[in-house]
Amino acid sequence: MSDKVKVTIDGITVEVAPGTTILNAARQIGGDIVPPAMCYYSKLEGSGGKCRTCIVKVSKGSEKDPRPMPKLVASCRTTVMDGMEVQNITSPEVIEARSGVVEMLLINHPLDCPVCDQAGECDLQNLGYEHGLQKTRYEFERRTFERIDIGDKIQLHMNRCILCYRCVFTADQITNKRVHGILNRGDHSEISTYIQTAVDNDFSGNVIDVCPVGALTDRTFRFRNRVWFTKPIDAHRDCPTCSGKVTLWYKGEEVLRVTARKDIYGEVEEFICNTCRFDKKQTSDWVIEHPTHISDASVIASNHYETLKPLPVIQNNPQLQQANKVELEKTTKF
Amino acid sequence: MARKLLLEHINVPGINTLDVYRQKGGYRAVEKALKTLSPEEVVEEVKKSGLRGRGGAGFPTGMKWSFLAKPEGVARYLVCNADESEPGTFKDRYLMTYIPHALIEGMIVSSFALGANTSYIYVRGEMMPQIRILEKAIAEAKAAGFLGQNILGTGYNLELYVQPGGGAYICGEETALLESLEGKRGNPRIKPPFPAIAGLYGCPTVVNNVESIAAVVPIINDGGDEYAKIGIGRSTGTKLISASGNLVRPGVYEIELGLPVEEFIYSDEWCGGIANGKRLKATVAGGSSVPVLPANLTLKLANGEPRLMSYESLSEGGFATGTMMGSGGFIAFDEDQCIVRNTWNFSRFYHHESCGQCSPCREGTGWMEKVLHRLEYGHGKMSDIDLLVDVSKKIEGNTICPLGDAAAWPVASAIRHFRDEFEWHVKEPVKSLDTNYGLANYAEPIAKAEVTTGN
Amino acid sequence: MLKVEEQQPVTFSSALIEKCGEIVKRYPGGKHKSALLPILHEVQAELGWLSPDAMDKVASFLTIQPIEVYEVASFYSMYFLKPQGKFVLEVCRTGPCCLVGAEKLMDHLEQRLGVKEGVVTPDGLFSWRGVECLAACGYGPVLQIGPEYTFYENLNEQKVDQLIQDLRDK
C-alpha cells in the first residue's frame, strides 16, 4: 500500500500525503484550479472554514465510498481520501456559489478602495474582480463602525473586515498575550479590544500582514503611497527577535514600509518582529538581496520590472523619450 | 386514548419529586440497566427501538451512540442538549419542569451505556427555573444513591451537572453547544471531526436532546422491540409535539407517530381545532426552520392522501409539497395571519441568532430580513420576491452549520406557497398595512398544476 | 469601544466568590474556563450588569485573558454590558407569540412604562426589551424577569398592568 493518496482536482491527478486538505492538494498542482482562500492561513492552526470562498464540489468521495458529498465543502478544511474527485473551476455550481459568497462579503463592505492602503494587494479586491457582480443588489445602508487606532502602529477599519479571524489566531499563536478578539454576534461582530487599549507586543504587527483586506493597516505607511507605485525588494538583517527576512517597499530612495515576505498565496513566509517592521526604515539597516518576485497578474508588477519596458516606438523617438523622462528614470532605478 | 410513555404520570401530584416518581415506577430503568445489562446491551436496545433524535435532525440515536470512539484511557462524555430555542418548540421545558426525574433517569442509563462518568445537561440560560428544578432533582437522586460513586453497588460512577447557557439559539447546534460548554463563544465547529471522535474537551462525546434521553427510559423498561411496535414505519415510538399559534388548546402533547395531522389539529383529544372559530391558513409543522405549508398541503399529501405526523409523511413530496418533522414545534396560523409578516419575523430571528462566523449566513440573514421588512411595511418591489429566493439559495447549503439552511427554508417555502400574498403586498402597499390577504385559496383542494417543483 | 476612565471598580461579595469556587469544581482539572458562563450569570445576578471591571475580575479568577471574557459576554444575549433597570421585563417577540398578540403587548408596555425599548425608567426601576423565542410558545404572550427568570404566561394588558404594580410595591 502506498503511503500517498490520489486525488483528482478538475481532471488533474496528484498524489499527496494522507491528511492533506483539498486546498493544499490543489496548491501542490498550482495554477487556476487552486481555490481562493480568504480566511484559511496555512501558518495558523485552526484557521479556515469560515469565509466559504474556497468551497468545491466533491463529485466522488473516495475509491472505497464513491458517493459524492451532498453539499459543497470548504476545501481548506476537508481532507482528501484516496480516489477522491473534486471539481472546482469545472463546476458551474461551484462558480455560482462562490460568486454568491463574494456578493455576501461585499454587501457591507465600504468599497472604498480608492482611499484604502490595501488596494493593489487586497485579496477581496482580487476576488471581487474575478467573481463579483458589476453592480450591487444590496440597497440598504451599509454597516459602519468607528475607525480606531489599536496602538500607535496599527489602525483598524472595521468596516472593511470580513471576519476571517486570522488576526485573532495570530495574536493567540504568535504573540504572548491576546488583547483583541471578536466581540458581539452575527453581523454586529467586530474585531475589538473592548476597552481602549494598545495592542502592544513584539509580534503584534503581523496582524497587518495576515489581514486579507484593508481592515488592519500599518499606520506608519498610512496614505504614504499606493502600493503599485512602490518597489518591493527582499532584504534581511541580523535580528535577535525574528528571522529578519523581510520585504522593503521603496519609493525612490526611501523605505516606506517593511513587511514579511509573502508567497504566491499571499501568506507570509516567516513572521517578523515589530522592530524590523516599524523601526528599521533605512536602507543602511538592511542587507539588500534582490527585487521581490511579484506575479505578473498583480497591479504591483504592472509598473515595474519585466512589464514596464519602454515601447519600441519610444525607444526610437527622442521627442517621446524626452516626454517620458520621469517614467523612464523610474524603470531604470533598480 | 393514545399510549403515553413520557407523560403517562404527568398529572400525578408531586411527580416532580423523587419519592412520587419512584412510586410510579421511576428509576426501574436504572436498576435494570446497571444491574442486569451491559453497556453494549443498552446500546443494542436503543438501536432496536428505532428511536430517532428528537432535537430536529431525526438521526437514529442508537447509531449515533455506536459511532462513539472508545480509545483507552480517554474520558467520554454525554451532554444533554436542553438549549431548546427553536421557535414553536417548548416540549423540553415542559418535560424538565414537570417530570425532571425522567431526564435524570435517562441520563444515568445513557451515560452508563456510553461509559461516561461525567455528564452535563446544557440548559438554555433563560430557563433558570428549570435549572433550579434539575439541580434539586439531581441532589435528590444523588442522596438516594442513583448518582455519585458506586451507584447501587454496581461499581459504576457518575457525576451529573447542569450547565446554563447564556442566551444563543446557535448553541442548540451540537458543536456550538460544546464550545459554549467549554466557556467560549457559541461558534459551531467545522466538521469533521465529529463530536463522537473529538467533542467536549477533545474527548469522544455524544450530544442528545432532552426528549431522546428521556425516551431511553421506556425503551429499557419495556425493551427496544416493544418501543418499535409503536408508531409507523421508521417513525417509531411516541413524540412530544409542542402545539402553538391559533389553536383552541395549544400545549405539549405526546402522540404516537403516525397520527393524522387533521386529527391532531381538530380532534378534541388534541388541539381542538382553530381558535375563535376561524379557519386554518397555514402551518409550520416542525419548528420555525422547516418549510411552511398552506392548509391544504398540511392536511393532505399532493396525491390527496391524508398527511400523518411522522418523519416520512411530513417530508413526503420533498420541499415542493412537503415539510419536515423537525423538533415537533407545530405552529398553526389562522386565516387572519399574514405570511409576509411572519416570514419577516422568523428571518429577524435568524438574523439575530446567526453567530456571524461564516459569511453567507452572517450577511445573508440580515439582507433577507431587510428585504422582508421592506415588503411587510409597504416599500417592497416585485423584484424583491425573486431576490429573496436567490439570496436564500446562496445561503442554503453553503454554511458551516445548519442555521443557514434554517434561515433560508422558511423564506423560500413562504414564497413557494404564498407568492400571491407577497405580490399583493407589493401591489397594495397601503392596504396591506392594516388588512390581511386572508385565506385566499390556501385551504382549497390542491389542483395538480399548483404542485410545481421548488428549489 | 469603552474609554478607560468609564470604568468603575466593583467588589464581589464573599458569598459570590464562594459560589464561583463551587462552580469551578464541576469540570475536570484544567477545564475551569467552562465555568465562565455560569459565573457571569452569578456576577450579573449580584451586580445587575457586567461592568468591565467585573469582567476583569472574572478573568483573573479563572486565570484567563480579559478579552476572552468580553468575547463571551458580548456574544450571548442574556448578559448586560450596560446598567439596566432593577426589573428588566423581557417579552418574547418571535412568531408564535406574535400570533397571539405579543406585538400589541410590547406597545402597551412601552406606553405604560413611558420608555422605549432598552431605556431605563427615570426611577431606575424598569427597563424592557423584546427578546427572541423563550420556548413557551404554547402559553404566549410571555415575558420573563431576571435574575431568576421568573416566567409570566398567557399575558394580556390587565395582567401586565397588575405585574408592573406588584413590582412597584415590592
Hey, are the CB atoms on C41 and B164 less than 8 Å from each other? Answer: yes
Q: What is the C-alpha separation between A267 and C159, in angstroms, rounded?
A: 62
Confidence of residue A307 (pLDDT cuts 50, 70, 90): very low
pLDDT at position B57 is: 87
Backbone angles phi, psi at B245, to 5 degrees: 95, -150
Each residue of A115-158: pLDDT tens digit?
999 999 999 999 998 888 888 899 999 999 999 888 889 999 99
In terms of CA atoms, which chain B residue is nearest residue C130?
B349
Mutation choice for B interface testing from C133, C142, C143 by most B CBs within 10 A: C133
Looking at the structure, tell me whether residues B86 and B222 fall in a common domain: yes
Q: Which of residues 115-144 of C touch A (CB under 8 A)?
A: none
Tell whether B453 is covered by a domain. no
Q: What is the mean pLDDT of chain A?
A: 89
Spell out the domains of chain C, with CATH numbers in brackets: 4-75 (1.10.10.1590), 87-169 (3.40.30.10)
- The boundaries of the domain holding residue B354 are 339-437
B-chain residues near A77 (CB < 8 A): 190
CA dihedral C59, C61, C63, C64 (to 10 degrees): -20
pLDDT at position B454 is: 46
pLDDT at position A287 is: 94
**Which residues of C sit in the known binding site for [2Fe-2S] cluster?**
92, 97, 133, 137
Return the amino acid letter for A18: P
Which of B126, B161, B244 minimises the CB distance to C144?
Answer: B126
Looking at the structure, tell me whether residues B76 and B224 fall in a common domain: yes
Looking at the structure, tell me whether residues B330 and B343 fall in a common domain: no
Write the Ramachandran bin of C167: left for phi over 0, alpha for psi from -120 to 50, otherwise beta.
Answer: alpha
pLDDT at residue A247 tops 90: yes
Which of C35, C78, C96 minimises the CB distance to B126?
Answer: C78
Each residue of A20-63: pLDDT tens digit?
999 999 999 998 999 999 999 999 999 999 999 999 999 999 99
Hey, are the CB atoms on A183 and C71 less than 8 Å from each other? Answer: yes
ipTM of the complex: 0.95
A260 DSSP β-pair partners: A246
Mutation choice for C interface testing from B90, B327, B341 by most C CBs within 10 A: B90
3-state secondary structure chain A: CCCCEEEEECCEEEEECCCCEHHHHHHHHCHHHCCCCCCCCCCCCCCCCCCCCCEEEEEECCCCCCCCCCCCEECCCCECCCCEEEECCCCHHHHHHHHHHHHHHHHCCCCCHHHCCCCCCCHHHHHHHHHCCCCCCCCCCCCCCCCEEECCCEEECHHHCCCCCHHHHHHHHCCCCCCCEEECCHHHCEEECCECCCCCCCCCCHHHHHCCCCCEEEHHHCCCCCHHHCEEEEEECCCCCCCCEEEEEEECCEEEEEEECECCCCCECCCCCHHHHHHCCCHHHCEEEEECCCCCCCCCHHHCHHHCCCCHHHHCCHHHHHHCHHHHHHHHCC
Do the domains at A5-101 and A108-134+144-222 have one common CATH topology?
Answer: no
Hey, are the CB atoms on C100 and B168 less than 8 Å from each other? Answer: no
Which of A185, A194, A196 minimises the CB distance to C70?
Answer: A194
pLDDT at residue A161 tops 70: yes
> Distance, in angstroms, between A123 CA and closest chain C CA?
27
In terms of CA atoms, which chain C residue is nearest residue A177?
C65
Q: What is the C-alpha separation between B76 and B118, in angstroms, rounded?
A: 8
Give the HSE-up count for residue A233: Cα atoms under 13 Å, Cβ half-sphere: 24
Looking at the structure, tell me whether residues B23 and B132 fall in a common domain: yes
Give the HSE-up count for residue B422: Cα atoms under 13 Å, Cβ half-sphere: 26
Tell whether B374 is covered by a domain. yes
Q: Which mean pLDDT values do the consecutive 10-residue runs of chain B (455 residues) have?
A: 88 95 96 96 96 92 95 95 95 96 97 97 96 97 96 96 96 96 96 94 97 96 95 94 96 95 95 95 95 95 93 93 94 95 96 95 96 95 96 94 95 96 95 90 73 49
Q: Which of residues 6-45 of C touch A (CB under 8 A)?
A: 7
pLDDT at residue C119 tops 80: yes
Looking at the structure, tell me whether residues B46 and B119 fall in a common domain: yes
Hey, are the CB atoms on B331 and C96 less than 8 Å from each other? Answer: yes
Tell whether B256 is covered by a domain. yes
Looking at the structure, tell me whether residues B103 and B26 fall in a common domain: yes
B-chain residues near C135 (CB < 8 A): 84-86, 89-90, 92-93, 124, 126-127
pLDDT at residue C141 tops 90: yes
Looking at the structure, tell me whether residues B126 and B156 fall in a common domain: yes
C-chain residues near A184 (CB < 8 A): 74-75
Tell whether B290 is covered by a domain. yes
What is the CATH number for B320?
3.10.20.600
B-chain residues near A48 (CB < 8 A): 190
Domain count along chain B:
3
Task: Give me the sheet containing A55-60, strands edge to edge.
Answer: A12-16, A5-9, A84-87, A55-60, A73-74
Hey, are the CB atoms on C95 and B168 less than 8 Å from each other? Answer: no
Looking at the structure, tell me whether residues B48 and B29 fall in a common domain: yes
B-chain residues near C36 (CB < 8 A): 183
> Distance, in angstroms, between C2 CA and closest chain B CA?
21
Hey, are the CB atoms on A51 and B352 less than 8 Å from each other? Answer: no
Tell whether B4 is covered by a domain. no
Give the single-character DSSP code of B167. S
Give the single-character DSSP code of B276. G
> Distance, in angstroms, between C34 CA and closest chain A CA?
18
> Distance, in angstroms, between A193 CA and closest chain C CA?
7
Q: Is B192 exposed, middle or buried (0-12, 13-18, 19+ CB in 10 A)?
A: exposed
The structural architecture, per CATH, of the domain A108-134+144-222 is: 2-Layer Sandwich (3.30)
Q: Which fold has domain A5-101?
A: Ubiquitin-like (UB roll) (3.10.20)
Hey, are the CB atoms on A185 and C68 less than 8 Å from each other? Answer: no
Q: How far apart are the first and last CA of chain B?
A: 40
Give the HSE-up count for residue B238: Cα atoms under 13 Å, Cβ half-sphere: 21
Hey, are the CB atoms on C37 and B349 less than 8 Å from each other? Answer: no
CB distance from A194 to chain C under 8 Å?
yes
Q: What is the C-alpha separation between A82 and A65, in angstroms, rounded?
A: 10
C-chain residues near A183 (CB < 8 A): 70-71, 74-75
pLDDT at position A294 is: 82
Q: What is the C-alpha separation between B123 and B84, in angstroms, rounded?
A: 8
> What is the residue extent of each domain of chain A?
5-101, 108-134+144-222, 224-334
Q: What is the mean pLDDT of chain C?
A: 92
Tell whether B2 is covered by a domain. no
Q: What does the angle CA C154 – CA B329 – CA C102 come to, to the nearest 5 degrees?
A: 30
Tell whether B195 is covered by a domain. no
Confidence of residue C8 (pLDDT cuts 50, 70, 90): confident
Which of A148, A179, A185 minimises the CB distance to C67?
Answer: A179
Q: What is the C-alpha separation between B175 and B173, in angstroms, rounded?
A: 6
A235 DSSP β-pair partners: A246, A288
What is the CATH number for B67?
3.40.50.11540
pLDDT at residue A331 tops 90: no
Hey, are the CB atoms on A195 and C2 less than 8 Å from each other? Answer: yes
Looking at the structure, tell me whether residues B225 and B117 fall in a common domain: yes
Q: Is the pTM of this model over 0.90?
A: yes
Q: Please give the share of chain A, as a percent, with pLDDT higher than 70.
A: 93
Hey, are the CB atoms on C133 and B250 less than 8 Å from each other? Answer: no
pLDDT at position A2 is: 60
Q: What is the C-alpha separation between B303 and A60, in angstroms, rounded?
A: 35
Q: What is the C-alpha separation between B160 and B111, in angstroms, rounded?
A: 9
| Residue A40 grid cell | 484559511
Looking at the structure, tell me whether residues B353 and B424 fall in a common domain: yes
**Residue predicted with more confidence, A301 or A195:** A195
Looking at the structure, tell me whether residues B88 and B216 fall in a common domain: yes
Give the single-character DSSP code of B300. B
Tell whether B111 is covered by a domain. yes
> Distance, in angstroms, between A175 CA and closest chain B CA?
20
Each residue of A282-301: pLDDT tens digit?
999 999 998 888 877 777 77
Looking at the structure, tell me whether residues B288 and B426 fall in a common domain: no
